[in-house]
Structures are given as C-alpha cells and as structure tokens.
Amino acid sequence: MILAERSSHWFNILLELSKFRIALFVSLSAFTGFILASGSLSFDFILPTIAVFILASGSAALNHYQEREFDCMMKRTRRRPVPSKRITASATLAMSVGLILIGLLGLYLSSNILAMLLGLITVVWYNAVYTPLKRTTPLAVIPGALIGALPPAIGWTAAGGKILDPFLLIIVLFFFIWQIPHFWLLLLKFGEEYEEAGYPTLTSRYTNKQIAKFTFFWIIATVLISMIIPVLGIDSSLFLYLGLFLCAVWLLLVSRKLLAFNNDTVLLKNTFININTYILLVMCLLTIDRLWQIGA
C-alpha cells in the first residue's frame, strides 16, 4: 500500500514537471509532420513521436528548474513540484538532463541526425533563449513562438522530408502564428501575476481591452495562414479546403467577442479552449487528408 502511494506520488510529480499536456501536444504536432511527409500510418512514426515526447518532457522539467524562484512568486505556479519542495532542484535538473539526452538519442536512432539537430535547436531555443528573454522583454513570445513551430519540422524530417519544402514551411509558419494569440490569452488572464513576479508584460503598457483586440487580429492572421496550407499541399482535396474554411469561420465567430472585451474571465477561458481545439482540428484535417490522398 505504501509503495503504491509513493509510486503514485512520484508519478504525479513527473507529470507536472513534464508539463504533460504540452509535451503531448508537441508530440502530436511532430506526428502530424511525420504523416504529412510519409503519407502512411506505418509503425515507423511510433519511436520518433515517443522520442519527441520525452525530449519535450525533459525541456519542460528544465524550465521548472530554471524558473523555480519566480514560480514561488505567482499563485498559479507556487504549487509546482520544485517551489512546493516536493522534489529538490538538483533532482529536477538531473531528471531533465536525462530526459533530454534520451529524447535526442531516441530521435537519432529512430530517424536521422537532422531530426535530432532540430530537436536540440528546439530545446536550446526554449531553455537558453526564450526562458531568459522573458525576463527582459514583453515581446519574448514572438521569437519564443519558434519553439512550437519546430516540432512539425522534426516529424517531417524524421520521415525523410526535405527541410525547405514549401509545404513544410507554411505548416511551420501556421504553428508559429497560432502561438501568439494562444500566449496572449494567458497573459490576459495571468498578467498581474506575471508583473508581481517581475516579468515585463504588455499589460503594463496596454489595457486588457487593447491586448484583447491585438489577440483577435492575430487569430485572423492564424486562420488566413491556414487557408494557404492547401495551396502548397500535396494533392490537397476539396475536403481539406472546406474543413479548414469551416474551422476558420467557427473560430472567428466564437472569438469576435474579444473586440468588446471587458475583463470577462469566462470569455478568456472559452476562447483559450477554442483556439486549442482549433489547432487540433487543423492537425486532424491535415492528417486525414494526407492519408486519404495516398489511399485514393
């Protein structure tokens, strides 16, 4: 009984340190890139996808270690494993380095050195560039958006796709643009906490209503980029055009209330859920269309 409780305790800590939902999303976007490049559902995608998940988990754990002092200052993060002292900082660092090395080795052995290098670049950009940059500029999210844009490229190259393929580049751009409104919705909700922890934020320069409008315009940019994807796609079908159009219209309609934003926390929560649902729908549409075209 005691052993089971201890195992459950450490498992929950591992889930928190790995930022499980984010790591899962990263691995799904890498999976999407793999399928778009290979056009098949062979078992070859399994190991690279798992490697990306492990790599993302290690990078997230390293971020916990890096921001442990600032996490203590925010209500949203003070219960994380390190600031709450459920695990030591040194143990977190050791675990994160181990996971990163395993993830990189897994990418190299299951695919190729290019995919591994892209994985390494992603980790370096997140932990060595974006994380410290957040302490110096409120616009860190823009270069930081590259972090979420690279996983599809990792999956694409793991499947043997060319890194400069126009189709991959538009996918990368789409993921890049999507992350900016995604982050600014979080900023609208937790801006005061970021400021209390000493992070420079846009909320100190602009009103929440202005940031909400900026966010909506970035959402418009996101859906416009999505409509370009089929143009550069591989034998894209009418199904993909129609699906992306309907998803775009839906997201714009449910997000338009941001233009009249009045610190409505329910609206922020719903819009955040909607924009995350949107990216998952787009990934599903791209994957299904690619497999359909190969099958046809």
Q: Is the domain of 141 the same as that of 187?
A: no
* Strand segments (E) across 6-116: none
Q: Give residues with Cβ within 8 angstroms of 50, minimum separation 6.
A: 27, 106
Choosing from 162, 187, 211, the residue where a domain stops is 162
Span 204-216, mean pLDDT?
Answer: 91
Q: Is the domain of 145 the same as that of 88?
A: yes
Q: Is the domain of 127 the same as that of 234?
A: no
**Residue pLDDT, tens place only, 48-104:** 999 999 999 999 999 999 999 988 888 888 899 999 999 999 999 999 999 999 999
Q: Is the domain of 146 the same as that of 207?
A: no
Q: Is the domain of 98 the same as that of 170?
A: no
Per-residue confidence at 203, pLDDT binned at 50, 70, 90?
confident
Domain range enclosing 37: 1-162
Residue-wise burial string across 212-240, b where 16 or more C-beta atoms lie within 10 A, e elsewhere: bbbbbebbeebbebbeebbeebeebbeeb
Residue 261 Cα distances to 213, 266, 278, angstroms: 8, 11, 21
Structural domain total, the chain: 2
- Look at 233 and 31; give whichever has higher pLDDT: 31
What is residue 43's predicted lDDT score, i.e. its pLDDT? Answer: 87
pLDDT above 70: residue 4: no
Choosing from 162, 177, 195, the residue where a domain stops is 162
Q: Is the domain of 68 the same as that of 137?
A: yes
Tell me the helix, strand and coil percentages in the chain, rounded to 5.
Answer: 80, 0, 20
Among the listed residues 130, 127, 169, the one whose alpha carbon sits nearest the alpha carbon of residue 152: 169
Per-residue confidence at 296, pLDDT binned at 50, 70, 90?
very low
Q: Is the domain of 134 the same as that of 273?
A: no
